[in-house]
């Protein structure tokens, strides 16, 4: 499939599903999960900080790391890729669905509404006792750990850690949207993290078209109808006829 054909398919599709990964936020200056290990944190592996075992062992250290990441993403701004996807949503209306693996909240800040955050959100915390999810205070005033506004118990980062399942309702909604999509866009993700990476295959199995936007080949490339080899903002602009 050529770029012109992919553009025409996207333009005419009534149902569009999008999966985004770290490549979308890279243009906002947000490092990937593993690249966030700099300075003091370079002596840790991500697995040493992002697992239930790590949190049970040393909740203070885990919270300090997440508080720093929260400050970083709060300073970042949505880039053109985020704004283009919000614009695509406005054009497709109820036929649009966005699932993101990113935890920075930039899609919502750019205006996306038909959205699920499969791996959680750095700006919120979840109560260890009652499960309440609540926003964190302003990052400059935040001293972890936060306390639950409902029951007063300690809260943990509202992030899906290694060894944990994705939120069931969000994953079910995403799987349904990708199965029903006429066109699926896979933007800025390596295709290595499942089950999110398997969403593209739901569209293919159902007979829809799958288009990848990524400067590099990925594990999903062999299953794509079309691959746009560029960063997220330029690749999306080309697909949407705005480049």
**Model pLDDT, residue 232:** 97
Partners of 211 in the β-ladder:
185, 226
Superfamily of structural domain 3-29+77-119+166-239:
TPP-binding domain (3.40.50.1220)
Pairing of strands 209-213, 183-187: parallel
| pLDDT beyond 70 at 221 | yes
**Model pLDDT, residue 40:** 43
Phi/psi at 145 (nearest 5 deg)?
A: -90, 155
**Model pLDDT, residue 45:** 75
Query: Rounded to the nearest 10 degrees, what angle do helices 232-239 and 80-92 cross at?
Result: 30
pLDDT-derived band at 173, boundaries 50, 70, 90: very high
**Model pLDDT, residue 242:** 77
Which numeric CATH code is attached to 31-75+121-159?
3.30.1600.10
The string of pLDDT tens digits covering residues 4-48 is: 999 999 999 999 999 999 999 999 998 765 555 454 445 567 777
Domain ranges, ordered by start, for the chain: 3-29+77-119+166-239, 31-75+121-159
**Model pLDDT, residue 12:** 97
Local structure of residue 41 (DSSP, 8 states): G
**Model pLDDT, residue 146:** 96
The string of pLDDT tens digits covering residues 75-131 is: 999 999 999 999 999 999 999 999 999 999 999 999 999 999 999 999 999 999 999
Q: What is the DSSP string of 70-135?
A: HHHHHH----HHHHHHHHHHHHHGGGEEEEE---S-HHHHHT--SEEETTEEEEEEEETTT--EEE
Residue numbers annotated as active site:
119
What's the distance, Cα to Cα, between the start and end of the chain in Å?
Answer: 19
**Model pLDDT, residue 43:** 57
d(CA 235, CA 197): 19
The pLDDT of 155-172, averaged and rounded, is 95
Residues 6+ apart with CB under 8 A from 32: 22, 26
| pLDDT beyond 60 at 191 | yes
The string of pLDDT tens digits covering residues 126-154 is: 999 999 999 999 999 999 999 999 999 99
d(CA 224, CA 235): 15
Contact (CB, 8 A) for 87 and 239: no
Tokens of 218: 């990925």
CA atoms within 13 A on the CB side of 74: 17
**Model pLDDT, residue 87:** 97
Instruction: Report in angstroms the alpha-carbon separations of 22 from 31, 40, 204, 234, 235.
Output: 8, 22, 23, 15, 15
Summary mean pLDDT of the chain = 92
């Amino acid at each position: 499939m050529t770029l012109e054909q992919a553009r025409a398919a996207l333009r005419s599709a009534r149902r569009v599903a999008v999966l985004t990964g770290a490549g979308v936020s890279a243009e906002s200056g947000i490092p990937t999960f593993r690249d966030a290990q700099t300075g003091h944190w370079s002596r840790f592996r991500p697995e040493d900080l992002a697992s239930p075992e790590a949190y049970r062992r040393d909740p203070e250290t885990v919270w300090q790391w997440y508080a720093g990441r929260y400050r970083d993403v709060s300073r970042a701004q949505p880039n053109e890729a985020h704004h283009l996807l919000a614009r695509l949503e406005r054009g497709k209306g109820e036929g649009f669905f966005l699932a993101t693996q990113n935890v920075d909240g930039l899609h919502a800040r750019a205006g996306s509404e038909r959205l699920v955050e499969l791996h959680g959100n750095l700006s919120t915390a979840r109560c260890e006792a009652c499960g309440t999810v609540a926003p964190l205070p302003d990052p400059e005033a935040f001293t972890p750990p936060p306390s639950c506004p409902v029951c007063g118990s300690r809260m943990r980062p509202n992030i899906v850690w290694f060894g944990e399942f994705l939120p069931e309702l969000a994953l079910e909604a995403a799987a349904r949207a990708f199965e029903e999509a006429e066109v699926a866009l896979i933007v800025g993700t390596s295709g290595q993290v499942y089950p999110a990476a398997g969403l593209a295959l739901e569209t293919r199995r159902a007979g829809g078209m799958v288009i990848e936007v990524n400067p590099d080949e990925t594990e999903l490339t062999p299953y794509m109808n079309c691959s746009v080899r560029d960063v997220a903002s330029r690749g999306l602009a080309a697909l949407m006829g705005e480049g």
